[in-house]
Structure 1
Amino acid sequence: LYAEAFDAAGKLDKLEGFASDFGADFYGLPRNADKITLIKRGWQPPASYPMADGKLVPMRAGETVAWELAA
């Protein structure tokens, strides 16, 4: 969802700092060295995920989300 917002604002170049660096810097914590890759490809979150005590309904279930985490 953050990627969609930053993309709509034309500020994708600012997403990494927002998502990865600024919080750690503010709290004086080390930055995480791990990386992820996002792909701009529409997908739909499932209606729900089974849980031990019921089910979890993800935000925007059944809607198209523009960005996907690469496998």
Structure 2
Amino acid sequence: MILALEVLGILTMCTIMFVSIWGFIIMKQMLSQLKYRNYLVEKLTQYMYFLTKKDDGSLTKPDNNKKE
């Protein structure tokens, strides 16, 4: 009976270690992807901001080069 409990305890510890290690690896990969996605979103928002600034600047400045 004691031998069965010891074997069950060892199996439980091995299972918990296996799940913990894989959980850590998966969380690390998810964090990496989240950082990359945030980087891409930041670049996209900067690009959109510069585009709108560029459009606003061209709308507010009079065009003196037009021939009438």
The higher relative CO (CA closer than 8 Å, separation ≥ 6) is in 1
TM over 0.5: no
Scaled by the length of structure 2, the TM-score of the pair is: 0.20
User: Counting strand residues as a fraction of each chain, which structure ranks higher?
Assistant: 1
Richer in helix (by share): 2
Larger radius of gyration: 2
TM-score normalised by structure 1 residue count: 0.19
